[in-house]
Structure 1
Amino acid sequence: MNSLRDSRAFLIDLDGVLYSDNRPVPGAAEAIAHLREKGYPFRFATNTTMRCRASLRRKLTGFGFEVSEDEIFSAPVAAARYLRQQGQPRVFLLLKEDAHRDFTGLEITDQQPDFVVVGDMGDEYNAALLNKAFRLILDGAEFVALQKNRYWKTAEGLTLDAGPFVVALEYATGQQARVIGKPSPDFFQLAVDDLGVPPAQVTMIGDDIEVDVGGAQRAGLKGILVRTGKFRETDLQSGIEPDGVIDSIADLVEYV
């Protein structure tokens, strides 16, 4: 598979690629160790917004992966970098408390913020919080979404992600959110900058045909689809043509 053999660096999704249903994908840890042994730079590029990267590292370590915090490039990390580029903004976070840690150094407030940042809060969403974000956006705060994924896979089955709540706020406020997580070009550019490798030489490996593969391709990267996680055979008729399809990330060792 030339798209893999020609790659100099990788972005690798977490949920659905390295682990699924809270269990590591067989052979995934060995595939990551193989990339490390071969000297390929990589980042774990995830739209997970409920955990800070320190917590994500602990989770991955518990699954048997060798990971440093710097190798985790999440939507909250990307958003925090984007916000710091805007000067010294005041920020309201509609996120789980754990994810707030990735925004260290920014002023977090619910009083006249410059930005409202919305991510996945799981079961912690409620009408009061959504109304707070709604009113702050109406009052002039810029609307930033960490991602707009429709759903994700949990042990209970497919579960609503942040996207439906972001779209609800867009509809109510009449304001389009700036999406910082995948599939936003902002996310991929920030991640590629972190790798220090030209986009055309970076390959994204994910289980989401729209968010991972389509987003990467629109940003000038290659996109490989795995048949694990949320993958469905109907994804192959989506109109997005991946640069390759593999059964799981364990197959990576055959190509690089």
Structure 2
Amino acid sequence: MSAAPRAPEIAAVLLDLDGTLYTAEGPIPGAAEAVRALRAHGVTVRFVTNTTTRSRRALAERLNRMGFPAVPEEIYSPPWAAGCFLRARGARAFLLVPEGAREDFAGVPEDDQRPDYVVVGDLGEDWTFERLNRAFRLILEEGAGLIGLGRTRYWRAADGLRLDVGPFVAALEEATGRKALILGKPDPAFFRLILEDLKVPPERVAMVGDDIEIDVGGAQGVGMRGVLVRTGKFRPADLEGSIRPDAVLGSVAELPVWRFG
């Protein structure tokens, strides 16, 4: 009886940020050391987040302050993905995105009259009826496409739960009858852009995160391996659903041991 074929060696690791590398209390113990160990062994390390409120430059600065050496080019986020998508097509856009993320759209012509796409991010308290209705009209009357920077429904701020980008994208889909292109975890288009940039086959890439659906399920959906960590938003009930992680670790600090044995 022949032995089962070994899984391809991991060449690249994608690391979720909040809940995986750090929490509100600070960096996960051993996380920075784990990242350094992976790099020392020649593994490509990249950082993946669904945040739409900060640019890659700002995220890199935050990671560096926490002890995770990073440059903007190593970070994948919805604004980065949308900027790549639009620039590749020479497309004009009506940007409903926070000021902090606008630099990731450098080179994209803005157009509030006849854009090719309306891009919806998390504007928070800057949302107004006028802005939402303008987006609705551009899509329905001018034929603009709709890009959503994720489908996250809500998040927990210091003052309690707040609506995220998902409900606003859903409202525009419902009103216009058009489906949005979603450029954020767990949607396949987002992960495929990452794979295109990495130039590594999906079976040699592992996504590591604390969300069984967004991180693990999303990655497995495009052929990557999905590794779940028991930090951040992890709950034991996550392991009772239909998604089966390729590995479950106590924290990202255990990643080098899982990778190298």
**Fold match (TM-score > 0.5):** yes
Structure 2 residue aligned with 1:63: 66
Q: What is the deviation of 1:75?
A: 1.2
Structure 2 residue aligned with 1:224: 227
Q: What is the deviation of 1:18?
A: 1.1
Structure 2 residue aligned with 1:30: 33
Matched, 1:95 2:111: no
**Partners in 2 of 1:119 and 1:225 — Cα distance?**
27
Maintained 8 Å contact 2:8/2:203: no
Aligned length: 254
**Partners in 2 of 1:207 and 1:58 — Cα distance?**
22
Residues 168-211 of structure 1 deviation map (CA, whole Å, 9 limit, x = unaligned): 22112211111121112221111112222101110001111111
Matched, 1:173 2:204: no
Maintained 8 Å contact 2:35/2:45: no
**Secondary structure, counterpart of 2:119 in structure 1:** strand
Aligned residue among 241, 251, 255 for 1:252: 255
Q: Which structure would you say has the larger Rg?
A: 2
**Partners in 1 of 2:15 and 2:112 — Cα distance?**
34
**Secondary structure, counterpart of 2:37 in structure 1:** helix
Q: What is the deviation of 1:101?
A: 0.4
Structure 2 residue aligned with 1:108: 110
Matched, 1:78 2:106: no
When structure 1 is superposed on structure 2, of 204-213 and 227-236 the one drifting more is 227-236
Q: 1:160 to 1:21 in 2, by over 3 A?
A: farther
Maintained 8 Å contact 2:52/2:122: yes
Q: What is the deviation of 1:10?
A: 0.9
Q: 1:64 to 1:157 in 2, by over 3 A?
A: farther
- Give the share of equivalent positions with the same residue, in percent: 52
Residue type at the aligned position of 1:129: R
Maintained 8 Å contact 1:4/1:255: no
Structure 2 residue aligned with 1:203: 206
Q: RCO higher in 1 or 2 (8 Å CA, sep ≥ 6)?
A: 1
Structure 2 residue aligned with 1:53: 56
Maintained 8 Å contact 2:184/2:190: yes
Q: What is the deviation of 1:161?
A: 2.4
Q: 1:204 to 1:147 in 2, by over 3 A?
A: same
**Secondary structure, counterpart of 1:55 in structure 2:** helix
Q: 1:221 to 1:114 in 2, by over 3 A?
A: same
**Secondary structure, counterpart of 1:66 in structure 2:** coil
Residues 197-229 of structure 1 deviation map (CA, whole Å, 9 limit, x = unaligned): 101110001111111111111101010111222
**Partners in 1 of 2:6 and 2:121 — Cα distance?**
32
Maintained 8 Å contact 1:21/1:154: no
* Structure 2: segments with no counterpart, 5+ residues: none
Aligned residue among 1, 7, 10 for 1:7: 10
Residue type at the aligned position of 1:127: F
**Partners in 1 of 2:7 and 2:255 — Cα distance?**
8
Maintained 8 Å contact 1:150/1:164: yes
Matched, 1:189 2:192: yes
Q: 1:80 to 1:3 in 2, by over 3 A?
A: farther
* Structure 1: segments with no counterpart, 5+ residues: none
Matched, 1:117 2:123: no
Structure 2 residue aligned with 1:44: 47
When structure 1 is superposed on structure 2, of 95-104 and 242-251 the one drifting more is 242-251
Matched, 1:18 2:21: yes
Residues 117-156 of structure 1 deviation map (CA, whole Å, 9 limit, x = unaligned): 1112233223222222122111211001111122345455
**Partners in 1 of 2:157 and 2:25 — Cα distance?**
8
